[in-house]
Amino acid sequence: MFDRVLTRTDAERAHHAAFTAIRAATPVTSRLGAPRRPVAAVGPPGPVRAMGIDFPHVLGLAAGFDKNAVGIDALGALGFGHVEVGTVTGEPQPGNERPRLFRLPADRAVVNRMGFNNDGAEAVARRLAERSRRHGARSERRPGPVLGVNIGKTKLVPESDAEAVLADYRKSAGLLAPHADYLVVNVSSPNTPGLRDLQSVERLEPLLRAVRHRADEVTDHRVPLLVKIAPDLDDEDVLAVADLAGALGLDGVIATNTTISREGLATDAEVVARIGAGGLSGAPVRERSLEVLRLLHGRLDPSVTLVSVGGLSTVEDARSRLEAGARLLQAYTAFVYEGPLWPSRLVRGLAAEQHAR
């Protein structure tokens, strides 16, 4: 249904319809969708321990699908071992004008310029607090998937105002860190003006320090902190981010976000031009995402968790990322094209392959 019907309707409307159906089907999918056998990143099938957290298996859902933390457990019931919500900004914002989400079926790709549309940190924090009340304290290891919270810059905060940017991220961290199993600083979406400028080491270091400090202030435990980077960084900048991550003691790096490149697409160039600006995800990002992963793995201490995302669709894709040094995997676009049974199918395929070795 996803590939034959939803790709022929407005992409954003289709997304909301599909997500509503997923949430409504939770009582069924919680019995049918979850993998029977968890899978480890390396070695025999089993849970993955990363950043001090026990993940049921390697595969998670990348940020962008559940922006407002409304379907965490429904998505977990489909077989995702972790769900990363957001990107959440300090203030609520509507995002960019529609249409802003487009499918490129010939490339198994998606272009989005959503612009961090979300309910804002205060509303999302209230939602997560209610989930915690239903499920129990974090120390008791809540049921459901491991929860990541991805935070980004409010559009109206000028990137040129360094103090305002830090205050905006600190607000989100202060409200959301108490409810997160891990926290991600997103400085790599192409859809918020100036955001990618924050990937420069000079801007990124004080930002990560501020978020780390604020998260520690509002929690009685250390919430792991990661940074998500773009595939469009050149190799030297990737290595500079890796060095910074090591120096700051970050818990992980997520590689990669969407790309602004349109090279090598099968979709007609006029169609691509009409779609316009936005981040491209899916199969066209596969090779660069893998290259960035290998760069990071070669530079970082093994204690830093690498999360690979970008063009991952098949068991072979997953295996190549794990062999290249990823500890965890995430996907988004493959889920859109392959449908709700895809996550459990991929995890079972990985488990079967590793069991046969």
Decide if 200 is catalytic. no
Strands 109-112 and 59-61: unpaired
pTM of the predicted protein model: 0.90
For the segment 263-310, what is each residue's pLDDT rounded down to a tens digit? 999 999 999 999 999 999 999 999 999 999 999 999 999 999 999 999
Catalytic residue among 172, 188, 189, 308: 189
Annotated ligand binding at 86? The verdict is no
- Kindly state the tokens that stand for 242: 């890796």
C-alpha span between 139 and 136 (Å, rounded):
8
Residue 22: enclosing H or E segment and its boundaries? helix 11-24
| Residue partners of 272: CB distance under 8 A and separation at least 6 | 104, 262, 265
C-alpha span between 189 and 130 (Å, rounded):
29
Measured over all CA atoms, what is the biggest interatomic distance in the chain, rounded to whole angstroms?
55
Annotated ligand binding at 267? The verdict is no
For the segment 295-348, what is each residue's pLDDT rounded down to a tens digit? 999 999 999 999 999 999 999 999 999 999 999 999 999 999 999 999 999 999
For the segment 164-200, what is each residue's pLDDT rounded down to a tens digit? 999 999 999 999 999 999 999 998 777 677 667 787 8
CATH class of this structure's domain 6-356: alpha beta
Burial readout 161-190 (b: 16 or more C-beta within 10 A, e: otherwise): eeebbbebbbbbbbbbbbbbbbbbbbbbbb
Annotated ligand binding at 192? The verdict is no
pLDDT at 221 over 90: yes
Annotated ligand binding at 311? The verdict is yes
Residue 202: its pLDDT value, please?
86
Structural domain boundaries of the chain?
6-356
Distances (CA, A) of 10 to 26, 101, 118, 174, 283: 25, 8, 19, 36, 21
Rg (C-alpha) for the chain, rounded Å, is 19
